[in-house]
């Protein structure tokens, strides 16, 4: 059963105790009127901020010294009166007040320094340890809120320990009890993961014992790990839903949200996509996001089967900004119109993108380059896919992609072998498919013997003309060092590695960059053995780093060979995004066309919407639809049905268009 509303606000309120007149301009009637006019039906409001200040008359924590009244209570009361959901925010690891009162509660990094902001620093925050008595203080605050207010959920923020782990006195004592060595990163990671999960278990039990019906979310836990036991999957019982905090202009960039949306949607929880109204990131006072960008980020959430959340920060005096909420309201009005075709909608996919070997250090947002490159290729070619870990149900997918760096432990080897025996298809590249020591391929189905790293870098790829007549008879450079393999008997070589004259060194070089192609080697650059295609170069990482179109064309060749009947076909440009979702008896196709442009050294800007005209689409379905129409306009469009494909044309796509295909 779906519980999350579609149109949410996450209202930050990190307010220094040095600021006076806090909440003095708050008017509950104007506040809720602004929310209603902006089509908002849920708002996360603050109980305690990063400064450690509480915004209600707490007997446990520290009331903001200049707070006027019970801001938390007034907000909850007026929101509930207007049927607006009101979850409550509590800052966990960052609490400046508690840090100033109890230095023994602070996290200590492996170098023996205080984690986060140093005592005289002016950026970031001090880290409190979730293995210290601070947790008792936080638990008492949480219990106080739950017993005094009718909250609709708890949002616990900043839930992670400093990487690779904290070595405060409490953590050192705990590690000694367990026989762990704090000088070893692996032991630090293990223990601090236990600490974090212990904290979540304690808080979830506390919350649900008092209010079993409300939602809980722990921010800072959304991540991917090669080792699924270290990742998000074992923590799911502590969550009611998943929120993907992803402000593209705030350091996350536009590749972050789709990656985690493609993963989180496989975990059986409702998803919320959180962006921000700011031009840059949180607390960018006076900065407002372009309307086209806000549209894209919200409509993109819908296209991935997620609900929408927009981050804002309330001014210390307690008054919402009219310009901000007018912009939010314009976007959320459109979201409200589209909701009927988004409720209980699940993505339909054909490919599983297996995450590459990685350890997501807690608190770090960076994604592996191989995964980013693979995701970008699949999105640009309009394939429908999930990002999956090693515990996923592989049988759901017609094809699995293992990009560049997926080592095969015994469990994964057995899963892939079983998958292939049942007719599954596989694309691997570079070191994917090697054993955990990186010395040899574990499956004969890969069709090659691993010899080691390529002897030249860069080298070249020569695709057989009969495999790809449209790719051009050229020796294409592969910028990143690949692998050298020898084909087994019965393996079909689709492309060969081309060697340059020599590697560039201080005494061997030619011209400005790398040395030109010299000859075709006998080593496969791309090979096929039944339903498995192997590519010797780290082609996905190389695409992420260098963006050469030919790399995507090579992957398209592989997909055409193994997956000739894709779910969605079109004449759309690569700048468009396409996702297919299914409701009970209806397919819903989302097409997005917003183009981020790098106009500053660190920001991707979306200012204009570039319309698309006369778009031709076809969608693979099991039966002929009874009706095809664009939504929310509800305008019928003509369609044909042949060979399990429904085909139609859309006259114009202005940013975001949805198409419903009813059975």
Q: How high is the pLDDT of residue 390?
A: 94
pLDDT digit string (tens) for 20-73? 999 999 999 999 999 999 999 999 999 999 999 999 999 999 999 999 899 999
CATH number at residue 554: 3.40.50.880
pLDDT at 71: 97
Highest mean pLDDT among 324-333, 353-362, 472-481: 324-333
- DSSP structure class, residue 118: -
In a domain, 1, yes or no: no
- Secondary structure letter of residue 85 according to DSSP: B
pLDDT value at position 118? 86
| DSSP-derived pairing of the beta strands 627-631 and 635-636 | antiparallel
Last residue of a domain, one of 504, 536, 562: 562
Determine the average pLDDT of the residues in 283-300. Answer: 97
pLDDT higher than 60, residue 364: no
pLDDT at 1: 57
Same domain, 352 and 446: yes
Sequential DSSP letters for 203-240: HHHHHHHH-TTSEEEETT-----SSGGGSSGGGGGG-S
Structure tokens at 11: 């209202």
- Are 415 and 428 in a shared domain? yes
Q: Express as a percent the part of the chain with pLDDT over 90.
A: 92
Whether residue 375 sits in one domain with residue 282: no
The Cβ of residue 563 has, within 10 Å, a number of other Cβ atoms equal to 16
DSSP H helix total and E strand total for the chain:
13, 33
635-636 β-sheet, strand order: 346-347, 577-582, 586-592, 656-662, 627-631, 635-636
Predicted confidence at residue 359, as pLDDT, reads: 66
Determine the pLDDT at residue 471: 84
pLDDT of residue 470: 78
Asked if the model's pLDDT at residue 486 lies above 60, the reply is yes
Looking at the structure, do residues 574 and 542 belong to the same domain, yes or no?
no
pTM: 0.95
Angstrom distance (rounded) from CA 475 to CA 463: 8
Confidence of residue 85 (pLDDT cuts 50, 70, 90): very high
CA-angle at 62, arms to 159 and 93, nearest 5°: 15
Q: Which helix (H) or strand (E) holds 518?
A: strand 517-529
Count of C-beta atoms within a 10 Å radius of residue 113: 11
Mean per-residue pLDDT of the chain? 95
For residue 363, the model assigns a pLDDT of 42
Segment 334-345 mean pLDDT:
97
Report residue 13 as tokens.
């309120």
Do both 355 and 339 map to the same domain?
no
Same domain, 157 and 264: yes
Average pLDDT over residues 551-568: 96
Residue 536 lies in a domain: yes
Cα 536 to Cα 460: distance, rounded to the nearest angstrom: 11
Identify the band that residue 227 occupies on the pLDDT scale cut at 50, 70 and 90. confident
pLDDT, tens digit (0-9, with 9 covering 90-100), for 500-538: 999 999 988 999 999 999 999 999 999 999 999 999 999
CATH label of the domain that carries residue 170: 3.20.20.80
pLDDT in tens, 105-128: 999 999 999 999 988 888 899 999
Within a domain: residue 2? no
Q: Are 533 and 625 in the same domain? A: no
Which of 346, 373, 390 lies at the terminal end of a domain, its last residue?
346
3 state SS of 391: coil
Q: Given pLDDT bands bounded at 50, 70 and 90, which one contains residue 228?
A: confident
Same domain, 300 and 355: no
Residue with tokens 């050294």: 601
Q: How far apart are CA 376 and CA 176, in angstroms?
A: 45
Phi then psi for residue 592, to 5 deg, are: -120, 140
Residue 219 neighbours by CB under 8 Å, 6+ apart: 155, 156, 157, 158, 159, 243, 245
User: What is the enclosing helix (H) or strand (E) of 172?
Assistant: helix 169-177
Is residue 469 very low, low, confident or very high in pLDDT (cuts 50, 70, 90)?
Answer: confident
Domain, as residue range, for 470: 348-562
User: Which are the contacts of 236, defined by CB distance < 8 A and separation ≥ 6?
Assistant: 267, 268, 269
Give the CATH number of the domain where residue 612 resides: 2.60.40.1180
Among 25, 636, 626, 620, which Cα is nearest to 321's? 25
Residue 362 has what pLDDT? 44
Give me Rg for the CA atoms of the chain: 27
Tell me what the mean pLDDT of segment 578-596 comes to: 97
Nearest to 396 by CA among 422, 375, 428: 422
Other C-beta atoms lying within 10 Å of the C-beta of residue 344: 11
Distant-in-sequence, close-in-space partners of 574: CB < 8 Å, separation ≥ 6: 380, 381
Tell me what pLDDT residue 451 has: 97
The tokens of 413 are what? Answer: 């080897």
| 365: pLDDT strictly greater than 70 | no
Nearest CA to 103 out of 123, 138, 133 is that of: 133
CA dist 561 → 473, 533, 537, 554, 570 (Å): 19, 9, 19, 11, 18
The verdict on residue 635 lying in a domain is: yes
Whether residue 566 is predicted with pLDDT greater than 70 in this model: the reply is: yes
- pLDDT tens per residue, range 127-171: 999 999 999 999 999 999 999 999 999 999 999 999 999 999 999
Residues 207 and 71 placed together within one structural domain of the fold: yes
Mean pLDDT on 629-648: 96
Number of domains in the chain: 3
- Do 313 and 328 reside in the same domain of the chain? yes
Grouping H, G, I as helix, E, B as strand and the rest as coil, residue 8 is strand
Bridge partner list, 244: 273
Look at 180-194, 306-320, 351-365, 372-386 and tell me which has the smallest mean pLDDT. Answer: 351-365
Res. 361: pLDDT tops 70? no
If asked whether residues 15 and 96 sit together in one domain, one would say: yes
Q: In terms of domains, do 136 and 235 share one?
A: yes
Question: Looking at 530-562, which runs of residues are DSSP E strands?
Answer: 532-535
- Asked if residue 305 has pLDDT above 80, the reply is yes
Q: Which residue has the tokens 């109980």?
A: 47
pLDDT of residue 119: 83
Task: Examine the fold and report which residue of 291, 320, 346 is the final residue of a domain before the chain moves on.
Answer: 346
**pLDDT interval class at 467 (50, 70, 90):** confident
């Amino acid at each position: 059963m779906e519980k999350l509303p579609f149109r949410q606000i996450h209202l930050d309120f990190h307010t220094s105790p040095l600021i006076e007149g806090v909440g003095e301009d708050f008017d509950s009637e104007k506040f809720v009127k602004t929310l209603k006019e902006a089509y908002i039906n849920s708002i996360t409001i603050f109980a305690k901020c990063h400064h450690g200040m509480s915004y209600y008359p707490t007997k446990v924590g520290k009331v903001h010294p200049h707070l006027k009244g019970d801001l938390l209570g007034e907000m909850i009361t007026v929101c509930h009166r207007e049927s607006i959901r009101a979850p409550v925010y509590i800052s966990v690891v960052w609490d400046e007040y508690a840090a100033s009162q109890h230095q023994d509660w602070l996290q200590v990094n492996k170098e023996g320094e205080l984690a986060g902001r140093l005592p005289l620093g002016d950026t970031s925050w001090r880290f409190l340890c979730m293995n210290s008595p601070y947790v008792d203080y936080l638990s008492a605050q949480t219990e106080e809120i739950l017993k005094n207010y009718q909250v609709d959920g708890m949002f616990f923020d900043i839930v992670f320990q400093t990487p690779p782990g904290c070595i405060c006195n409490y953590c050192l004592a705990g590690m000694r009890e367990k026989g762990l060595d704090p000088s070893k990163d692996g032991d630090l990671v293990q223990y601090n993961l236990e600490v974090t999960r212990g904290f979540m278990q304690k808080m979830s039990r506390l919350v649900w014992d008092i209010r079993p019906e409300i939602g809980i979310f722990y921010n800072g836990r959304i991540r991917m790990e090669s080792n699924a036991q270290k990742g998000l999957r074992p923590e799911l019982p502590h969550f009611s839903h998943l929120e993907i905090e992803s402000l593209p202009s705030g350091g996350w960039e536009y590749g972050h949200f789709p990656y985690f949306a493609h993963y989180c949607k496989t975990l059986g929880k409702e998803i919320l996509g959180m962006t921000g109204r700011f031009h840059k990131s949180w607390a960018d006072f006076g900065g407002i996001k372009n309307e086209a960008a806000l549209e894209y980020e919200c409509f993109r959430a819908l296209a991935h089967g997620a609900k929408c959340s927009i981050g804002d920060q309330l001014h210390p005096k307690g008054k919402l900004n009219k310009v901000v909420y007018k912009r939010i309201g314009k976007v959320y009005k459109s979201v409200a119109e589209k909701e009927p075709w988004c409720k209980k909608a699940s993505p339909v996919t054909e490919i599983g993108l297996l995450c590459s070997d990685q350890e997501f250090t807690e608190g770090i947002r960076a994604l592996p380059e191989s995964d980013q490159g693979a995701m970008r290729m699949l999105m640009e070619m309009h394939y429908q896919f999930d990002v999956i870990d090693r515990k996923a149900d592989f049988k759901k997918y017609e094809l699995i992609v293992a990009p560049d760096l997926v080592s095969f432990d015994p469990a994964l080897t057995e899963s892939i072998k079983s998958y292939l025996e049942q007719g599954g298809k596989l694309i691997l590249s570079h070191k994917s498919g090697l054993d955990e020591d990186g010395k040899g391929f574990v499956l004969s189905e890969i069709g090659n013997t691993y010899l080691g790293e390529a002897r030249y870098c860069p080298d070249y790829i020569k695709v057989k003309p009969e495999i790809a007549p449209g790719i051009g008879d050229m020796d294409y450079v592969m910028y990143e060092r690949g692998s050298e393999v020898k084909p087994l008997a019965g393996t079909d070589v689709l492309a060969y590695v081309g060697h340059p004259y020599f590697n560039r060194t201080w005494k061997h070089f030619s011209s400005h960059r790398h040395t030109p192609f010299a000859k075709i080697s006998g080593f496969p650059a791309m090979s096929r053995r039944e339903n498995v295609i192997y590519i010797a170069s780290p082609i996905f990482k190389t695409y992420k780093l260098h963006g050469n179109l030919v790399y995507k064309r090579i992957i398209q060749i592989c997909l055409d060979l193994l997956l000739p009947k894709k779910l969605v076909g079109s004449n759309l440009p690569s700048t468009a995004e396409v996702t297919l979702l299914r409701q009970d008896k209806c397919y819903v196709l989302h097409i997005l066309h917003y183009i981020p442009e790098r106009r500053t050294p660190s920001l991707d800007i979306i200012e204009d919407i570039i319309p698309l005209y006369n778009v031709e689409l076809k969608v693979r379905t099991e039966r002929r639809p009874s009706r095809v129409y664009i939504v929310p306009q509800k305008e019928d469009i003509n369609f044909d049905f042949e060979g399990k494909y429904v085909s139609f044309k859309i006259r114009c796509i202005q940013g975001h268009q949805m198409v419903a295909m009813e059975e």
